[in-house]
Structure 1
């Protein structure tokens, strides 16, 4: 019996980087739409998934506030909402490309996704409780927990109050027009546009306002840039997404026929917007301007393309670099740090024309 044509259709799957806990990235060449399907949204976890239900779920806001409140799921989802479209990128994206190598999940380019998140602005929730004078940071605690350095801890992250009060920072309950999936933070997830994904705390349970810097293990140990291999001198925190880009097509080491082909990919940045993307076909000797397929918008990636006629029996090194509205561009060499965060060096692939 001959297999049907349907059997030969390519069905994309996440690429496993870890199972306990689950960490999976997206094959970058499948990110075609501005809204990444939930099934292809990358998964980043420190601990096992918590098991939660709406019926018994409450969100507590406490600390340096005028009125401590505990809100049920239905109370929060009935509040005035807004939808934020933003990319989400793991700070360890492209860790596999550091030289010398660093420890950690060996993400290539696919620890990134983009989606629509519906929720209530954090500033709206804090207007209910009131914030005391002198408040400096907001701490967000998730329901995920486990053992770290021999101690049982819960995942917690802090935000400076100035960033936390940005109206685009929301407590979300919907992802791509559906309730957030259990693997992406159900029932509530903090969404912090412009910052790496570690700030967007999943399974959000408690919000705590404090009048001093937060120093939890995922704030001052993990998610810190350590420029030196064996000392902490010169360290500083991981915050906003660094300007970056990636080539989606062709694939690295692909063999193509002579003739015209399109080079396509994505570019993004944390603050500002992408203003231009440049392509080199000769290992950086010369650069050409790519076409931006979309109108660049803050917190979103932009698609780009460049068409070229490739000659027979030639090898090509293709590089891409992006520029943004606040003067940032990608470096030729990544800023090495021992935890492997923020790799945004110029992306490159090699192809062969037969």
Structure 2
């Protein structure tokens, strides 16, 4: 049973056919280079982006990121910083900015809000380009929404460690996710004021970070089209995060928030938005962010949209527990579809399951915290498991179907611990 509305499923099928038949318009990248990406993706060839010089002060060990990245909060992965899940144990529903993961394709740019302008343009408008200053955007009616942002590759490393399958990309565990309270303007409000036409089909936001290049191909600035139906629904142009102006690493001065969709759709440092009467393609919905491999078409699946269902313990790998004492296990579960309905845990590697107590009211687009008590009776190694069920009846599986780039891992994760 799918949790995506029919309009999204129809859009996905349509884009897949258009891509396969060469009927969509390439937005800024030559089609031969897009085909090169597809060929590489189909055989799990890693895509290595060239490093970009940071435009702002950075921390030792991870050029291009502005905020401190203490090892008790983060694990560094290339240009990215993954949140250590155990660092969330003493936090509330919202992820503090100082613990929110960082996903950068190049480096965090320094953008002056006072000089920033958002340009909305394209043949999908009734008139010419329309500019919005930062002050003008903040003067529009605002909306506040709690939502998680999660990289499509979150959990990627488990394809290898649990399923023995080769994948390419950043070896995330489960910390490429964070939930925040975002405040901003509905994208629909901006598009209406810009004069979106009735024949528009795609909306393409583009970031102001450096161009992405590697393997002899310049992919340009990060950009990924949204269907008009999604753009006019629940998408935000956000300028605040947890009640404060957006920090540089998280998209300042303005970023997209696309609830429940894969992280790449949530473009940071937005500089312009193209509105098109033709379907649009970019590297981030052709060779990247599609599913390739056995069970998928040669040209890949439809572009990834909604996130999947996952659970994680707020616990360091290899943690130790005293035998015969009561311990409180905590964690979080989330779904890109319907809200989480229930969570079960196992403390013996899956032999027996019991329900966990939900600590929050489950809501769409957010995660739910949970807890369970455990008194281990024997010493030695064991494996903790957590699996969620959402309101559509979907349950986390024992294994995830393989894809070469390691996207959308949703299987139950085996968390090894020791009882002493």
TM-score of the superposed pair, with normalisation by structure 2 = 0.77
Label 1:312 to 1:282 Cα distance change in 2 as closer, same or farther (>3 A).
Answer: closer
Alignment of 1:198-347 (within 5 A): 198-228=264-294, 232=298, 235-249=301-315, 251-258=316-323, 259-347=325-413
Q: 1:5 maps to what in 2? A: none
Q: 1:6 maps to what in 2? A: none
Q: What is the rounded CA distance, in whole Å, between the counterparts of 1:353 and 1:16 in structure 2?
A: 29
Are residues 1:83 and 2:144 paired?
Answer: yes
Label 1:284 to 1:233 Cα distance change in 2 as closer, same or farther (>3 A).
Answer: farther
Task: State the SS of the aligned residue for 2:173.
Answer: coil
When the two chains are superposed, the root-mean-square deviation of aligned CA atoms in Å is: 1.9
Which of 101, 118, 121 is the matching residue for 1:59?
118
TM-score of the superposed pair, with normalisation by structure 1 = 0.91
- Contact 2:359–2:368 (Cα < 8 Å) also in 1: yes
Alignment of 1:140-159 (within 5 A): 140-144=205-209, 145-152=211-218, 153-159=220-226
- Contact 1:227–1:235 (Cα < 8 Å) also in 2: no
Q: 2:82 maps to what in 1? A: 25
Moved more, 278-287 or 86-95: 278-287
Structure 1 runs not aligned, ≥5 long: 1-9
- Contact 2:290–2:300 (Cα < 8 Å) also in 1: no
Q: 2:194 maps to what in 1? A: 129
Label 1:28 to 1:139 Cα distance change in 2 as closer, same or farther (>3 A).
Answer: same
Label 1:158 to 1:230 Cα distance change in 2 as closer, same or farther (>3 A).
Answer: closer
Structure 2 runs not aligned, ≥5 long: 1-69
Q: 2:241 maps to what in 1? A: 175
- Contact 2:239–2:254 (Cα < 8 Å) also in 1: yes
Cα distance, 1:85 vs structure 2: 0.8
**Structure with higher helix content:** 2
**Structure with higher strand content:** 1
- Contact 1:247–1:348 (Cα < 8 Å) also in 2: no
Q: 1:104 maps to what in 2? A: 169
List per-residue Cα deviations over 1:18-76 (Å, max 9, x = no partner): 1xxx2101111112321211111111111222232123211011111123311111111
Alignment of 1:186-205 (within 5 A): 186-205=252-271
Q: 1:120 maps to what in 2? A: 185
